[in-house]
Amino acid sequence: MRVAAGIAALALLVVAGPAVAAVIETMQVERDDGRYSIAASMRLSVAQPQAFRAASDYERLPEFNPSIIASQRLPGERLRSTIRLCVALFCKRIEQVMYYQQTPPDSIAMQVVPGAGDIKAGRADWRFSAEGENTTRMVFDAEIEPDFWVPPLIGPYLIARELRRQARVTAESIERLASDYDDDTESGD
């Protein structure tokens, strides 16, 4: 997940930084036949180029998200992430590989590479739009289908709750990390 970009496409920060003013305007998490989707709109108190740069600095994901164990760019615009997802007493180490395509400073699109990890199918789309000098609207839309057993009954509810938490952490983390980048830095490549 990102929720790491999607599962990663989604998750992020515990490092020290300036006060955070991220506002979650809307967030919806749904489950349909083993597939989870999340749609969120957030307002960040940073300029668009810095918000994009922070979100696309994939190598730093483990630094600011305790759920992400490792993140590595691979040839062919692919990203490998290892995530530790804990839902109640059930913890799972999840491997995922995603193709990514960046359009700085406006969007990041990710697609799960089938058969390359523990996610059967999925995608994550990030869109960034300037709403003033130091305000960015970030819209995140992702869908994942795990390729592992999810405990019945309470498992789906707890996974949905974790996806919501990861989206909030991601918004706050992007704001904190964005302060590390200059105005003219456009991408993590």
Mean pLDDT value across residues 115-126: 95
Q: So where are the chain's domains?
A: 5-178
Looking at domain 5-178, its CATH class is alpha beta
CA dist 68 and 146 (Å) reads 17
CA dist 127 and 110 (Å) reads 12
Peptide bond preceding 104: is omega within 30 degrees of 0, i.e. cis? Answer: no
Are 136 and 128 in contact, with CB atoms under 8 Å apart? Answer: yes
> Residue 1 in 3-state DSSP?
coil
Report pLDDT digits (tens) over 60-94: 988 777 788 999 999 999 999 999 887 667 788 99
Report pLDDT digits (tens) over 135-144: 999 999 999 9
Q: How far is CA 178 from CA 82, 101, 119, in A?
A: 23, 20, 29
Beta strand ranges found along 20-67 (DSSP E): 23-32, 35-44
